[in-house]
Structure 1
Amino acid sequence: MKKTVLFIHSAGPQEKEQGSSKLSAYLESELRDKYQFVIPKMPNPENPEYVLWKNKLNKELNMINGELVLIGHSLGGSVLLKYLSEESFNRSLSGLFIIAAPYWGLEDDWKSKDFTLQNNFEKKLPEIPNLFLYHSRNEDIVPFTHHKKYADKFPQANLRELEGKQHLFHYGLPVLVSDIESL
């Protein structure tokens, strides 16, 4: 039985060729022989609300059986961390992969009570055997300082600090594929 990858996309438009669509299509193309993919369209991505995303995530998780790999891109990564640290999660998790996620509340441009993590959220997470954080050093959408903040919170994480300024990874993310295959 194949493990399931649940991919939670970024905010903003998600139609073909937009947002996380190219990245998720790339990952599915590269890994479909070994993994089953679930890539839900999250509610109202151009004006996201945490409670709606939480409810959709909960619904998707309840439909998945077996071992699970979670991937969150940008806002999707923030949502996964918030969900895992605030909700009851008793599932077998192979790995958590967070790509270019904003750390809400870190900077003036990144204030949102809706998505801000609780104090000491990292201590409230379930056991995560494999945690990976990816971020481009010079990207201009989510500053690299957000990655550094997550890195400080997760000293056990595998850090993938990437050259360049990609945020959407339209041409894929081969290191992510390799990391998932290494599980």
Structure 2
Amino acid sequence: MSAITHHVLFLQGGAGLKDHQADQVLVDSLQGGLGKAYRVHYPLLPDEPSPDLGRIRQIDQEISRLQGELVVVGHSLGASMLLKYVSENPDKIKLKALFLLATPFWQGDEKWKQAFKLPEDFADQLPQDLPLYFYHCRDDQEVPFAHLALYGQKLPWATFHPLASGGHHLNDDLRAVADAIKSL
């Protein structure tokens, strides 16, 4: 029996219990692809009555709980808030890599979006040696595929995986992400 030697934190997309349950299939696929030497941590991130739904505080709390270099995977809202958190706290944490799935690039002047938007200089605030991996499907019906290109303009050193199909949940198959994590 092999011991757990690597920890991966998965941050849900959307809001609340329903979206947490929907992303469980992604977590199960990732855990299956990683095998027994990895443990995928998947906390419920409940909505809080704050403009960012409490995500920045929750992400900080969850990352702080795990020791050592950490791989973090975020889906949708979880991915965008993870990127915001890391760009606002570049020296606070040591991460091994970020994997960002179906990541919205928040734009617009609507008041509700302001807490989700990245600052204009967010790319300059990220550690340049932090590996960033983006995965996005062309047929995503929730987050436009064009958002991947917006991240490409801001983060040219990142690794981008445009996928032909799979929708917002990447066909509930994260074997390619698991393989990339194991290759780190």
TM-score by length of 2: 0.86
Deviation at 1:92?
Answer: 2.9
Matched, 1:72 2:74: yes
Contact 2:55 2:81 in 1 (8 A): yes
1:3 to 1, 6, 23: 6
Q: 1:126 corresponds to which residue? A: 127
The residue type paired with residue 8 of structure 1 is: L
* Structure 1 unaligned regions, length at least 5: none
Kept in 2, the 8 Å contact 1:133–1:159? The answer is yes
Does structure 1 residue 44 correspond to structure 2 residue 52? no
Aligned to 1:166: 167
Pick closer, same or farther for the CA change 1:43–1:128 going to 2, 3 Å.
Answer: farther
- 1:16–1:122 distance in 2 versus 1, CA, 3 Å: closer
Aligned equivalents of 2:131, 2:161: Cα separation in 1 = 13
Root mean square deviation, CA, Å: 2.6
- After superposition, the C-alpha distances for 1:10-68 in whole angstroms (9 at most, x for unaligned) are 014544994312101211222142222211111228x8842611111111111111110
- Greater share of helix residues, 1 or 2? 2
The separation in 2 between residues aligned to 1:11 and 1:182, in whole angstroms, is 29
Equivalent in the alignment of 1:34: 37
Deviations 1:126-178 (A, max 9, x none): 24432111000122110011111011111111110001251123531222111
1:82-104 per-position Cα deviation (integer Å, ceiling 9, x unaligned): 10111254333221100001000
Q: Which runs of 5+ in 2 are unaligned?
A: none
Contact preservation (8 Å) 2:33, 2:179: no
The two structures have a TM-score, normalised by structure 1, of 0.87
